[in-house]
A and B are shown apart, each in its own frame.
Chain A
Amino acid sequence: MIRFENVTKRYGENVGLEEVTINIAKGDFIFLVGPSGAGKSTFIKLILREIKPEEGEIYLDDMCVTQISNREVPKLRRKAGIVFQDFRLLEKKTVYENVAFAMEIIHKTKKEIRRQVPQILSLVGISDKAYKYPEELSAGEQQRVAIARAIVNNPTVLIADEPTGNLDPTTAMEIMDLLNKINRRGTTVVMVTHAKNIVDVMNKRVIAIKDGRIVRDECGLYDLVCEESSDDDTDEEDLYV
């Protein structure tokens, strides 16, 4: 599903990732944890071909991410739904339009859009806000819209970059329930996070990265995998609620 083979990415002198090999199977739900600057963002940027590694190969499904041409990048990104910490919704489009837009870019017909969008909006639980603009919504609702946009085209993988980072604990747990629900429908979920309590509650596979290397890869609790790394992370405290 997602495969990293001896991937190394450097930023000048600094190491992004060092000889990382990971295999994420279809239908998995994994947490990617580790201190800031450990290489989590690099990991996501590499999957989306925002950057290219110096060494190694990356595969998403049958697509070799490291080999495709720039013209094929949009095709790659359509295979992966992406959710960000800051939602990144189109401010000048309504909730409905934001979700419909993801379908428009892959040339779906109006009929398909009209059928699919309400279903997805109801799945994420914001049907009643369809004609509101993002700024009229709460943070949790905005993230639901972002998730709806990410999954409306049935991607094989959903990548979530700190999706609960801007949310209060209750809302964060609601979003986690939603991600779990999506995972149970068969979508692979990769979630980058700092939130210890969330990782502990979910009890899923946890991949810990530190200084560009994978230091732990097993099912279970946050503490188990990166107990000694929490002190060098500044924005962590307010997330441990």
Chain B
Amino acid sequence: MFRRMGYNIKQAFVQIKRNKAMTFTSVLAITAMMLILGVFFVATININLFAEVVKQDFDMVELYIEEDYSLDGIKKIGLEYESDEGVSKVEFRSKEDALEIMKSRWGDNGYLLDNLGGNPLPDSLIVYVKDAETAKIIASEALDVEGVEDVKYYQETVEKLTKTTNFIQMASLVIMLFLVLVSIVVVSNTIKLTVFARSKEIRIMKYIGATNWFVRGPFFIEGIIIGLIAALVSTGLVAIIYDNIMAIIGADIIRILSVPIVPIEYLAVNLAIIFVALGVGIGSCGSVISMRRFLDK
């Protein structure tokens, strides 16, 4: 069939032109399922990102250092923690750095912080741990260490959040798998209708000596084209929907809440890749599979 690619592509377009209604139905079916899939996909990606951020917090304990505590003293505390086997790394964050981080998180609204009289933030040591158990121990003992003013480690909150996001991830995975399954059934049935509408044609082709791949070729290419169109349409639609939802929530609110959001450009590219692969796969395999019983003779 690849030897006669030109013929197949030409025939595929002729078929599409002459069977507009069927082509439209197929595209619609694939687009509809991809749209639902896409919305779920985007939601899952964002939840995943959120979970990642949460997990990062889980890995670390932030120790706030008393005002005017000496740098040498801070270094000493840091080295002590670093020698702990459960600790992977200790990082020093000066109050100036802390302010910078906060400003960058607030983004365009960062200027609000410029009006502060001084820097209210403390110096801090960030202790990265290898497991939750160590984190718990460090968090409970840190207040007794000289120079440590406060400990930031929201253990229970973090655990609850992790559980929730894990559940959401699992649930959406199941729903997405289910959707893919349903859509494959719907799509292969739609294509079966297309093929059935042309079963007479296929039988004639076989009668005058066409090989199976000769008959299949144009349908195969047609399936790919239908899948491609559906992929592009649904990528566009999902991007528009995503953009609108983000606009409604408002970029400023998102930034100040420090909730991470996957940028639309990144999502669109990945969605397009996934949808094209999925669409082309479903379209081409669907056409070949649904033609089987008309060709086995």
Contacts and interface: CB of A to CB of B under 8 A. Distances in A.
A139 B205 CA distance: 21
Given A74-B210, A74-B211, A105-B210, A88 B204 contact: yes
Nearest to A105: B210
B207 A92 contact: no
B201 A102 contact: no
A105 B209 CA distance: 7
Contacts of B214: 74, 105
A105 B205 contact: yes
B4 interface: yes
A82 B206 CA distance: 11
Contacts of B210: 74, 105
A77 interface: yes
Contacts of B207: 48, 77, 82, 88
B284 to A, nearest CB: 21
A106 B209 CA distance: 8
B297 interface: yes
B204 A77 contact: no
A62 interface: no
Interface size class of A (residues with CB under 8 A): 20 to 34
A111 interface: no
Contacts of A92: 18, 201
For B203, B207, B214, the residue with the greatest tally of chain A CB atoms inside 10 Å of its CB is: B207
A104 B7 contact: yes
Nearest to B198: A92
B4 A82 contact: no
A77 B18 contact: no
B201 A77 contact: no
Interface in B2-30: 4, 7, 18
A149 B204 CA distance: 11
A184 B235 CA distance: 63
A156 to B, nearest CB: 13
B208 interface: yes
Interface string A161-197: 0000000000000000000000000000000000000
A228 interface: no
B204 A75 contact: no
Contacts of A232: none
A82 to B, nearest CB: 6
Nearest to B15: A92
A105 B208 contact: yes
A149 B208 CA distance: 9
Interface residues of B, number: 16
A78 interface: yes
B197 to A, nearest CB: 11
Contacts of A48: 207
Interface string B142-156: 000000000000000
Interface in A86-121: 88-92, 101-102, 104-107
A16 to B, nearest CB: 17
Interface in B174-218: 200-201, 203-211, 214
- Residue of B205, B208, B211 ringed by the most chain A CB atoms within 10 A: B208
A90 B209 contact: no
A227 interface: no
A90 B7 contact: no
Nearest to A77: B209
A90 B297 contact: no
A78 B209 contact: yes
Given A50-B297, A88-B204, A75 B7 contact: no
Interface in A44-83: 48, 50, 71, 74-78, 82
Most buried by B among A48, A75, A76, A105: A105
B208 A102 contact: yes
A25 B200 CA distance: 33
A90 B206 CA distance: 12
Q: 5 closest A-B pairs (Cβ-Cβ)?
A: A77-B209, A78-B209, A105-B210, A74-B211, A74-B209
Interface of B: 4, 7, 18, 200-201, 203-211, 214, 297
28 contacts: A48-B207, A74-B206, A74-B209, A74-B210, A74-B211, A77-B207, A77-B208, A77-B209, A78-B208, A82-B207, A88-B200, A88-B203, A88-B204, A88-B207, A89-B204, A90-B204, A90-B205, A91-B201, A92-B201, A101-B208, A102-B208, A102-B209, A104-B7, A105-B208, A105-B209, A105-B214, A106-B209, A150-B208
